[in-house]
Amino acid sequence: MTLSHDRPAPPCAIVIFGANGDLTRRLIVPALYNLGQSGLLPPRLALIGVDHNDKNSEDWSAALHDFLEQSLAKGGEGALAKIKPEIWDPIARAMTFFKGDFTDDGMYARLGQLLAERDKNENLGGNVLFYMAVADRFFGIIAGKLGAAGLMQQGSGFRRLIVEKPFGHDLESAKQLNACLLQHMHEDQIYRIDHFLGKETVQNIMALRFANGLFEPIWNRDRIDHVQITVAESIGVEGRGRFYEQTGALRDMVPNHLFQLVAMTAMEPPVSFDAEDIRAKKAEMFKAVHPVTLTDVVRGQYDSGAIAGEPVPAYRKEPNVAPESGVETFVAMRILIDNWRWAGVPFYLRTGKRLAARATEIAIRFKRAPYALFRETPVEELDADWLILKVQPDEGIRLRFNAKRPGQVMALESVAMEFRYKDWFKQAPAVGYETLIYDCLIGDATLFQRADQVEAAWSVVEPVLKGWRNVNPRHFPNYAAGSEGPTAANDLLARDGRAWRRIR
């Protein structure tokens, strides 16, 4: 995450394992196109797609182009203002489809020969970025075979590897994956990607805190009562029942997405925007998290209900889901950070499927002012001191505070000052991966997780995973689709004298 994105990335070969997959079509290639529109793509580029299918380079390029056009027509996540030939054609010319089995040693030898040819022909300086857009079961296999084939050895140019989540399924598997990766490459070659950190509003948390003299002096236990972080989805598992049955909401969202939002909110100020300074502060924060017990966690599973007036099925009725599944689709959690800044300030986290609305926000509740002057005012009317960072949708920042209502009586009303990105900035088309891929190309690891950070995050939730293995959730399903989650999540805050903000 450079302070100024004003230069194209260096010449490079990008190798995408999983070239025919959904991630490549929906996010990676649209992000490369958008980088081309911004003038940030390498001036000399080779784009090599590796997959097991029978396909030539022209067919692969055409299929990706057609998907971009369909996205434009649907106004979907990969929507572009217009597919411009002057942007697309150089990308298409750079494309080579390479058929291969990820488990075949011979494939990596042939891939090495192709990279050498493309490097010589395109004058790429020996730079290669490998992208594992594949199922996580292939992460260790691909990393090991890249290392064994010598493809991660750096000479005059760089060799880097992008690893998508999940980074393991528990603490032990995360340690095993990190050990495998570090056996074949150095930590500074590994980019563990979390698309949440590609969102402008997430990156803006650091700007809000550290570029303004107003907020950081009150960003502590003396002024903040508690923090609520919500990642709510109105959609269900969307045909990914088989994946979700093996994962669940906790593994899918908490050690990565939610904990990254916690880290950006709670980390200590770094001495610079250098990647290692920032990542060290995040790792310190995770190590200060108090061990979580089962009494600090609520899990839920959605029943049938209605979303936007349309009936939707229960999780157990979704395709490829067991009829008596005990997998959670909702998690709420209370965590404490044992350091000087946050001691005694609870962070409440929640995430779930089929909730009342799609909303991701960080809500910071400041401590109330003394009531002596306003004894006649109802308590709920004084409950206004919130700083709300909206990550999606309607990205922006809202500050709620109390003001006097016009009239002859001293009566208070909650009012808001609001900043919205769309009102102030003209944003280029984006799918959320542009900054992350660009940072990989220029070698800026600020927005990526180190091995110790990944393991520290899994260490926080490991006791919960172990506890859940021994306790079958007999009360599932326990919240209706279209609601705000199970009632037990409300009790989690009520016992502290607090309440969740509405999901909207």
Residues annotated catalytic, as ranges: 257
Residue 390 φ/ψ, nearest 5 degrees: -90, 115
Q: What is the dihedral of CA 33, 38, 39, 40, to 10 degrees?
A: -80
Per DSSP, what are the bridge partners of residue 298?
A: 332
Half-sphere exposure of 397 (CA within 13 A, CB side): 15
Residue 397 φ/ψ, nearest 5 degrees: -135, 135
Pairing state of beta strands 396-404 and 386-392?
A: antiparallel
CA angle, 283 as apex, 277 and 289 as ends, to 5°? 140
Within 10 Å of residue 169's Cβ, how many Cβ atoms? 17
Measuring CA to CA, which residue among 190, 179, 260, 222 is closest to residue 450? 190
Which H or E run includes 109? helix 105-122
Distance CA 435, CA 199 (A): 8
Distance CA 173, CA 373 (A): 56
| Angle between the N-to-C axes of helices 200-210 and 259-266, in degrees from 0 to 180, rounded to the nearest 10 | 20
Task: For 316-472, list the strands marked E by DSSP.
Answer: 330-335, 347-352, 359-366, 386-392, 396-404, 412-420
